[in-house]
Structure formats: structure tokens, C-alpha cells
Amino acid sequence: MSAIAEDKNNEIFITGSKYLMPTYSRLPVVFTKAKMQYLWDANGRKYTDFIAGYGCLNVGHSNREVICAIKKQVENIIQPSNVYYNVPQVRLAEKLCEITGFGSKVFFANSGTEAVEGAVKLARKYSKEKFGNNRYKIISFNKSFHGRTMGALSATAQEEKQRVYQPLLDGFDYADINDIKSVKDKIDNNTCAVIIEPIQGEGGINVSDIEFMKNLKSLCLENKILLIFDEVQTGFARTGKMFAFKNYGIVPDILVLAKSLGGGMPLGAIVSNDEVSSVFTPGSHGSTFGGNAASCAAGIAVIDYLIKNRLADRAFNLGKYFVSKLARLKIQNSIIKDIRGMGLMIGMELYEPVAAEIVNAALSDKFVINRVSPSILRFLPTLVISKRNIDSLIKWLAANLKKY
Ligand SMILES: Cc1ncc(COP(=O)(O)O)c(C=O)c1O
């Protein structure tokens, strides 16, 4: 905290602490400018970003093509209301169906948690209409994170996040990833869907293995249960493919998207196949701002940029490079317990609960990194990051991890 006492970040930090509800442990820096993989604070000091707005800037901060698309759109119309079609929303829906390969219709929300709410409603409506009123139960996974609103929080199997908000929504049960028996044990006649993050982000970068995922898909098919993939964090080339489900050779029934979809603008989406999406009829669900023209224009620019610049391949290759460097660091540092992830979604687990101290020390040295628990660091950079940026962070980690 002392480091900010004399600088321009301080006034905003103090006023923010006074007027904003303290729902976040805010770090002592105020970013006032950003470009691709770099951030600048109120004093003009430059930082390299390894968290990308918690994974919502795969195409980089203030990406030129995203800015142009937004500017052009807001000059014309921002949001005509969802009782009318707006052009970017229609074009983006068409694009999402195309790039997911299985999607036939899309619903737009403003955030990840809202998209999860929509997916829960869609799954329940589908199952009730098809199989009867008892089919409402949803299985999610221990350590999952699906959002903060009450439905998504009910699917978020983290006791400390749920405890004070009890009672939550009825009809959620939790299994363990990579343990198909634990899922089988939870399935009963009331089960309508399973919701899973292919790689748990907030829960510690826990990767589901291919065999488990294939078995999960078969189990869902056998029991006529919908499979929902929450790809809010893993989507849009993050894991080396446009969507993480493509790494597993299976297809979900419902795909939940947000974060990087909007290139920094608030935007979420549910994509589903024809059979499932057909149960949403006028009045089933809605949102005033969901799929507004400005956010959707950004979304189109994001997808075009990802494809044009082959950022999925880049995430795959740079991810391999990053992990190999971290693995070498592990050999030299006994504090490192595990390195895991996929593409540019990487976790480093430590034997000691010193992740917060490391995040703060890195920030002082102009590296923005993140922790998901007292002992797990998370690297979720923009996909435009360079090998040189990675080398600089590795050099910093090599010099500093020794202190812990
Ligand atoms: C997998 C996953 N689902 C849902 C959410 C919630 O998204 P939002 O913060 O946009 O509501 C998050 C946010 O971190 C997430 O990682």
C-alpha cells in the first residue's frame, strides 16, 4: 500500500474505497490505458498483462479492429430493443452457429452468469416439456465456478461462496471431475442436465481428461440428459482451439459463452442445437441489453480477428512454450507443486499459501498476474502476448520464487 502513497493512483484508490462496495480485494494500482498485452497506470507506468481482464481480452486490450467496429456501430444505433432484430446481433448469431459447428440458435445475455442462468432455464424447459415436470435436477462439479447470480451460484460448488446466501436454488447436485462414477451416482429420474467447465478456471485450473469427457457424453446420451459446457473462460481460442470442447472430440447440447466474446464489452451467449433451442418461444426468456448492437459489433470483430490472426494456433504454441519454461522452473524451485492447463490457460500450484504475496510483488515489478487460491497462481494472458513477454515473466519468477 505504501508504494501508492505518493502517486496518482492514490486518490482514485482512496475515493473508490469510500464509495464502492468492497466486494473485491482491489490491488493498489489504477489502470488508465491499455493496448493489446500492455497496461499503463495513472502515473504512466507500463505493465505486461498476464490475466487479460480475467480472460475477457483474448484479442488484446483495446484491439484496434474491435474499437473501429464499436465506434462505427454506436454512430448508427446502440440498441433498438430486442423486439426488433438488430443487424450485428443477427450476424454474430450466424457466425457463432458456424464456428461452433453444432449450434443452430443463439440467445444473447450480458455476462457469463446471465448466460448460465439462461442455460439452466433452457435445460429445465426442454426436459420438462419432453419428459415431464420432475426433470429439473442439474449436476455440476465440485470446485466449479459458474457465476454469482442465484442460479449460477447454485451450480457453483464452492461452499465458501454459497454459505451466506442459503437457501440457494433447489435441484443442484455436485460430482467430481475425472470421476465418472461420481456422476453416475448422482443421476436419478429427476436429472435434466450436467453443466461442466472443461477446465475449471476459478476453481484452480483443473483440467478434465479426454476419457472422462467422452464417458460423460455417453452417460448423458444414455440417460437423455443435456450436456452443458460452460466455456465462459475457456472459449474463443484460449485453449488452442476456438472452443475447448473441440479438444475433446465431443459436442455439447448447450454451450455457454461470455468474457472474450465481447472483446471487453459486456456480452454473453447460449448456443444450442435445434432440438433444444426450439423450446424457447416468445416470453420464455429475455434481456433488455442482451445482444445489444454495440457489443455484438465488437463480438463480430473479435471472431474475425481470432480467425484472421490464427490465435488458436498461437495459444496452442505459446501455451506449450510457457508450460515448458514453467516446468523447467519447477525443477529448480521446490515451492512449485504442479503446473497444469491447456493452451494459454495455465495454473501453477505452490506448496505454500504465498500466492497473494507473489501477485503483489509481481505487480510492483510491472507484471500483472493472478491467483485463484492462496496457493494457486493463474496465467491467463491475452493471446497476442509474445515469447519475449513470457521470457520476461519467467526470468522474474526465477529470480523471485526463491524468496518464498
Ligand atoms: C466458467 C465461468 N462461468 C461463468 C462465469 C461468470 O461470468 P461473469 O463474471 O461474466 O458473470 C465465470 C467468471 O469468471 C467463469 O469463469
Distance (Å, whole) CA 318 – CA 128: 45
pLDDT at 25: 93
Query: What's the CATH code of the domain at 272?
Result: 3.40.640.10
Q: Nearest to residue 59, comparing CAs of 305, 355, 297?
A: 305
Q: Do 273 and 102 meet the contact criterion of CB atoms below 8 Å apart?
A: yes
How many domains does the chain fold into? 2
**CA 157 to ligand 1 center in whole angstroms:** 13
**Residues 385 and 238 both lie in one domain:** no
Under the banding of pLDDT at 50, 70 and 90, the label for residue 168 is very high
Flag whether 70 is in a domain.
Answer: no
Residue 99's contacts (CB-CB under 8 Å, 6 or more residues apart) are 242, 243, 303, 307
The answer on pLDDT for 276 being more than 70 is: yes
Flag whether 335 is in a domain.
Answer: yes
pLDDT at 3: 47
Query: Which H/E stretch holds residue 130?
Result: helix 112-131
Q: Is the CB of 117 under 6 A from ligand 1?
A: no
Flag whether 211 is in a domain.
Answer: yes
Flag whether 68 is in a domain.
Answer: no
DSSP symbol at 209: P
**Residues 147 and 291 both lie in one domain:** yes
| Tens-place pLDDT, residues 361-376 | 999 999 999 999 999 9
| Tens-place pLDDT, residues 279-302 | 999 999 999 999 999 999 999 999
| Tens-place pLDDT, residues 20-36 | 999 999 998 999 999 99
Among the candidates 264, 279, 308, a domain finishes at: 308
Flag whether 286 is in a domain.
Answer: yes
**CA 43 to ligand 1 center in whole angstroms:** 31
Q: Supply φ then ψ for residue 222, to 5 degrees.
A: -55, -40
Nearest CA owner, ligand 1 atom 9: 112
| Tens-place pLDDT, residues 83-100 | 999 999 999 999 999 999
The answer on pLDDT for 140 being more than 50 is: yes
| Tens-place pLDDT, residues 367-402 | 999 999 999 999 999 999 999 999 999 999 999 999
pLDDT at 6: 60
Average pLDDT over residues 96-115: 98
Distance (Å, whole) CA 305 – CA 229: 24
pLDDT at 7: 73
Q: Residue 21: exposed, middle, or buried by beta-carbon count in 10 A (0-12, 13-18, 19+)?
A: exposed
The answer on pLDDT for 187 being more than 80 is: yes
Average pLDDT over residues 305-333: 98
**Residues 304 and 186 both lie in one domain:** yes
Query: What's the CATH code of the domain at 31?
Result: 3.90.1150.10
Report the residue among 259, 267, 287, 372 best suited for mutation to probe ligand 1: largest number of ligand atoms under 8 A from its CB. 259
| Tens-place pLDDT, residues 188-201 | 999 999 999 999 99
**Residues 115 and 104 both lie in one domain:** yes
Domain of 51?
2-62+310-403
**CA 188 to ligand 1 center in whole angstroms:** 28
Nearest CA owner, ligand 1 atom 4: 146
Cα R_g (the chain), whole angstroms: 21
**Residues 243 and 345 both lie in one domain:** no
The answer on pLDDT for 4 being more than 90 is: no
pLDDT at 2: 46
For the chain, give the percent of residues with pLDDT over 70.
99
**Residues 174 and 300 both lie in one domain:** yes
Atom of ligand 1 nearest to the CA of 147: 6
**Residues 235 and 96 both lie in one domain:** yes
Nearest CA owner, ligand 1 atom 16: 233
**Amino acid letter for position 280:** F
- C-alpha cell at position 113: 452468469
Under the banding of pLDDT at 50, 70 and 90, the label for residue 5 is very low
Average pLDDT over residues 218-246: 98
The answer on pLDDT for 13 being more than 70 is: yes
DSSP symbol at 333: -
Among the candidates 261, 289, 308, a domain finishes at: 308
Flag whether 394 is in a domain.
Answer: yes
**Residues 166 and 41 both lie in one domain:** no
Flag whether 96 is in a domain.
Answer: yes
Lowest-confidence region among 132-136, 165-169, 215-219, 280-284: 132-136
**Residues 317 and 395 both lie in one domain:** yes
Q: Do 400 and 231 meet the contact criterion of CB atoms below 8 Å apart?
A: no
**Residues 184 and 289 both lie in one domain:** yes
**Residues 209 and 237 both lie in one domain:** yes
**Residues 194 and 87 both lie in one domain:** yes
The model's pTM = 0.97
Average pLDDT over residues 229-241: 98
Flag whether 186 is in a domain.
Answer: yes
Among the candidates 308, 325, 348, a domain finishes at: 308
| Tens-place pLDDT, residues 62-83 | 999 999 999 999 999 999 999 9
Q: Any idea of the CA torsion for 103, 106, 110, 115, to the nearest 10 degrees?
A: -60
Distance (Å, whole) CA 219 – CA 216: 5
Distance (Å, whole) CA 291 – CA 307: 21
- C-alpha cell at position 378: 493463474
What's the order of all strands across the beta sheet hosting 336-342?
Answer: 336-342, 345-350, 376-379, 370-373
Q: Which residues pair with 349 in a beta bridge?
A: 338, 376
**Amino acid letter for position 209:** D
